[in-house]
Amino acid sequence: MSTVALTHAPGQSRAVPRLLIGLAFALTAIFVVAPLAFIFWRAFAEGWAVYLKNIADPLVLHAIWLTTLVAVIVVPVNIAFGIAVAWAIARFRFPGRKLLMVLIEIPFSISPIIAGICYLLLYGRQGLLGPWLAAHDLKVMFALPGIVLVTMFVTAPFVVREVLPLMQAQGSEQEQAAVTLGARGWQVFSRVTLPNIRWALLYGAVLCTARAVGEFGGVSVVSGSIRGQTNTLPLQIELMFNDLNTTGAFAAASTLTVIALVVLVVKAALESRR
């Protein structure tokens, strides 16, 4: 036995790992860090006062508010949906179970803009349900319901994908034990099932929030981009950019970026807990 501590396999050069590590850092810096830094640099290019003025713009504030509202509606609904689907797939055998597992992945594999167009064709004025909706004076397209629906579609898989593998791995013995001890359905869920999946659930919710806040493609189809009404933050940023108000666009973008970074930190914290 050699007494020399080996930090790498003998006979293997250290150059290759070093090169790869350096490359990874360099690429991350070029493609991720630099653009992000640029956003903040541009946002503050004309000083704090201008930055605050840009953020305080009523249109921007409204976009922030709308984006938050959408997330506040979508995330809880997706948590409930995610738990229900994961529960059904993990605990029961039923015809169409495999199909359901494939279906919930669809939003990941198709482009959000297609989702937007589908909703437009379904609920739009010329759409399948359009006349009925018009007759009942319900406005789905170019209004909050449409934005919420599309965002919901795009973010549907996040919670299920986190919770399902965990529920499958844990099996149902703990729940069965709770039942034999006299626990009713809701007690089993709240006292045994939920505590077991709480971190995965939170993690899924965080991913879902990040996506709901940042969604652009699908929402841009169904929102109609009505200033001060149906513009979410990503849409507002694009609008300002097209208006050549770059400082304003970067100010708004920095807000969105801050939200994303906060979510990222929460996600990292959750990951270390698991």
Closest to other proteins by CB, 137 or 173? 173
Closest to other proteins by CB, 165 or 195? 195
Closest to other proteins by CB, 31 or 186? 186
Report whether 70 contacts 151 (CB < 8 A). Answer: yes
What is the rounded distance in angstroms from the CA atom of residue 158 to the CA atom of residue 216? Answer: 17
Give contact residues for other proteins (rule: CB under 8 A).
173-174, 176-184, 187, 191-192, 195-196
Closest to other proteins by CB, 35 or 171? 171
Kindly state the smallest distance separating residue 109's Cβ from other proteins, in Å. 31
Kindly state the smallest distance separating residue 81's Cβ from other proteins, in Å. 24
Tokens of 209: 């929030």
Closest to other proteins by CB, 122 or 183? 183
Kindly state the smallest distance separating residue 168's Cβ from other proteins, in Å. 14
What is the rounded distance in angstroms from the CA atom of residue 153 to the CA atom of residue 155? Answer: 6
Kindly state the smallest distance separating residue 23's Cβ from other proteins, in Å. 40
Tokens of 191: 């006292």
Kindly state the smallest distance separating residue 196's Cβ from other proteins, in Å. 7
